[in-house]
Amino acid sequence: MAKKYADLVKNAVGRMVPTEVNGQKQVPFQGVGKFKPETSKHGPKIVSCADFPEDGNKEVTSLKEALVKAGLKDGMTISTHHHFRNGDLLANKIFDIAKELGVKDLRWVPSASFPCHEHLIQYLEDGTIHHIEGSMNGPLGRFASYGKMRGLGVLRSHGGRYQAIQDGEVKIDIAIIGAACADPFGNANGLYGSSASGLLGFALADSQYADKVIVVTDNMVPFPCIPWQIQGNYVDYTVQVDQVGIPEKIVSGTTQITKSPDRLLLAEMTAQLCWEAGIIRDGFSFQSGAGGTSLAVGDYFAKIMRKEGIKARFARGGSNKYLVSMLEEGLIEYILDGQTFDLKGVQSMADNPNHVWTSPFTSYNYHGKGNFAGLVDVVILGATEVDVNFNANVVTHSDGLLLHGIGGWQNCLFSKTVILPIPLFRDRIPVILDEVTTICGPGELIDVIVTERGIAINPKRKDLIEALKDSTLPIKTIEELKDEAEKICGKPAKANFDDELVAVIKWVDGTIIDSVRKVKP
């Protein structure tokens, strides 16, 4: 097996990053928009209809049979998607089968992993899985953070994952795509059935570029499965199983607007700022996430829009019942959705042609001829830490533990205005620091930090500063905010790191923006 990594060099944001990771050459981050690859997209092997069933029926009797037919063997790269979130039943089964077959050293490339995948730690330990490239939320992140994974973790944004697969940086041998609904030819969607999750965009690149593609469903319908969010023309085998996901863990149904007065304040200030800056205007567009604060921002937006008679051209989802009700009320013309967070979202996507399913290709891929993240007027995001240069962190905590994925966060930074409403401190640990533990997004792309004790606008955004010069909002410098946090909580302790690297953070163009070090136990 290749060395975990080699030869650290300093990149354009001053972080030490390896020039080689798990045996593959790497490019250090060179600045936003600076790296231009001179190569071509991955061209998968040409296949022929002559090698597929004449009647289009690609069904095999079990996932094991499909994996064996797909040629599962040592060292292969296996991909899965995370539309089933913490209710996923497939990934664990795949590696149970690999273990049973005695296959070793697999590289797992999920679009994200969740606490339900803690089951896989035994396979990281016994050599079935060599390492994970993809977000490691919770237990797997903790495992990696303590230096227990043999290979180096590679974290990518949703767009960066599409880019890496498209560009051939990650060559997938076998993609396993769980689907709420599919037909025997392999057409699939996430809209219908007991495991409905809305859409399958995170598996699009896998279907297009993997060598072998397996679609697994608990709801097989006769051809054609419409809409074919995944096209059977990319699929090798189909499998019926009893259950692909646990419904109540797929769409939690518990996503609610925050009731915390502090967070409601953050949300109200954010909405007020957007209104005063002229961002909320007829035909505008926005994205706010699924967290309690973000939902509250959307709600304040709705109030302003209703009062002022303003209509948004589109909202970017993660969708939920609040966004759907704005669509139905006519406050939004379109939802361009990447994932649905509750059953209202799933239902609306199935029924309303203006609730559009998208993919990381259309929304986020940086190695395309543009993507629509850049067309969104304002995006509301979170962060675990921000520094005085507006650099932000979303993957590690201040104790250094790698506990979160990047999601679409990096990709959304290309929105016209990026606002992070965050508390000034959490558990008496300041959130605004001299230097973030891990840089996930360069400060030049982050425009506004909204805290309960003041708002900092990036000095680069002279237009915003000008627009808000007469505002009654508590606008301060980011240094003032940092000082205030330290006055209350004291200077924060540094994480207790070992020298060894455990993971790297990719930028949207495939370069490495930062490394994550091992945490001393």
Binding site for its own copies (CB under 8 A): 32-56, 58, 166-168, 185-186, 213, 222-224, 226-228, 231-236, 283, 313-314, 334, 336, 353-354, 356, 361-362, 365-372, 374-375, 414, 416, 509
Which is closer to its own copies, CB of 282 or CB of 308? 282
CA 217 to chain centre: 23
In degrees, to the nearest 5, what angle opens at C-alpha 428 toward C-alphas 427 and 432?
105
Residue 379 CA to residue 218 CA, distance in Å, equals 36
At closest approach, how far in Å is the CB of 391 from its own copies? 20
Residue 286 CA to residue 380 CA, distance in Å, equals 8
- Toward its own copies, which CB reaches closer, 289 or 360? 360
Peptide bond into 421 cis (omega under 30): no
**What's the CA angle centered on 147, arms 160 and 167, to 5 degrees?**
20
Residue 87 is which amino acid?
A: G
Return the number of the residue (95 or 357) whose C-beta is nearest its own copies: 357
Count Cα neighbours of 144 within 13 Å in the Cβ-side half-sphere: 37
Tell me whether residue 373 or residue 403 sits nearer to its own copies (CB atom). 373
Nearest distance from C-beta of residue 402 to its own copies, angstroms? 27
- Least distance to its own copies, CB of residue 16, Å: 25
Q: Which is nearer to its own copies, 373 or 516 (CB)?
A: 373
Radius of gyration, alpha carbons of the chain: 23
- Give least dist CB 421 to its own copies, A: 24
Q: How far is the CB of 11 from its own copies (least distance, A)?
A: 17
Least distance from its own copies to the Cβ atom of residue 410, Å: 12
Phi then psi for residue 132, to 5 deg, are -115, 130
**Minimum CB separation from its own copies for residue 302, in Å?**
21
Q: For the CB of residue 163, give the shortest distance to its own copies in the complex, in Å.
A: 9
**Cβ-proximal residues to 444 (8 Å cutoff; 6+ apart), any chain:** 32, 390, 458, 460
Cβ proximity to its own copies: between 135 and 371 the closer is 371
Which CB sits closer to its own copies, 43 or 521? 43
Q: Which residues pair with 506 in a beta bridge?
A: 512
* Tokens representing residue 170 in the block: 């990650």
Q: How far is the CB of 376 from its own copies (least distance, A)?
A: 10
Q: Which is nearer to its own copies, 198 or 245 (CB)?
A: 198
CB-wise, 333 or 498, nearer to its own copies? 333
Minimum CB distance to its own copies, residue 132 (Å): 25
Task: Using the minimum distance from each CB to its own copies, give the nearer residue, 190 or 421.
Answer: 190
Cis peptide before 261 (omega within 30 of 0): no
Q: What angle do CA 29, 318, 80 make, to 5 degrees?
A: 65
**Between residues 460 and 476, which has the closer beta carbon with respect to its own copies?**
460
CB of 148 to its own copies, least distance (A): 35
**Residues 492, 430: contact at Cβ < 8 Å?**
yes
Nearest to 319 by CA among 202, 227, 199, 420: 199
Exposed / middle / buried, residue 120 (Cβ in 10 Å: 0-12, 13-18, 19+): buried
Query: Residue 26's closest CA among 40, 41, 5?
Result: 5
Query: Least distance from C-beta 500 to its own copies, angstroms?
Result: 33
Q: Which two tokens stand for residue 335?
A: 């939802």
Residue pair 40/209 in contact (Cβ under 8 Å)? The answer is: no
Q: Which residue, 186, 158, 121, 457, is CA-closest to 289?
A: 158
Q: How far apart are CA 405 and CA 407, in angstroms?
A: 6
Please give the Cα distance from 372 to 348 (Å, whole number): 21
Q: Which is nearer to its own copies, 54 or 499 (CB)?
A: 54
At its nearest, how many Å lie between its own copies and the CB of residue 59? 12
Which of residues 142 and 171 has its CB atom nearest to its own copies in the complex? 171
Q: Contacts from 264-268 at CB under 8 Å and sequence distance 24+?
A: 264/296, 265/452, 266/293, 266/296, 266/421, 266/422, 266/423, 266/450, 266/451, 266/452, 267/293, 267/294, 267/296, 267/297, 267/299, 267/300, 267/421, 268/296, 268/300
Measured from the CB atom, the residue of 223 and 497 that comes closer to its own copies is: 223
Smallest gap, in angstroms, from Cβ of residue 37 to its own copies? 5
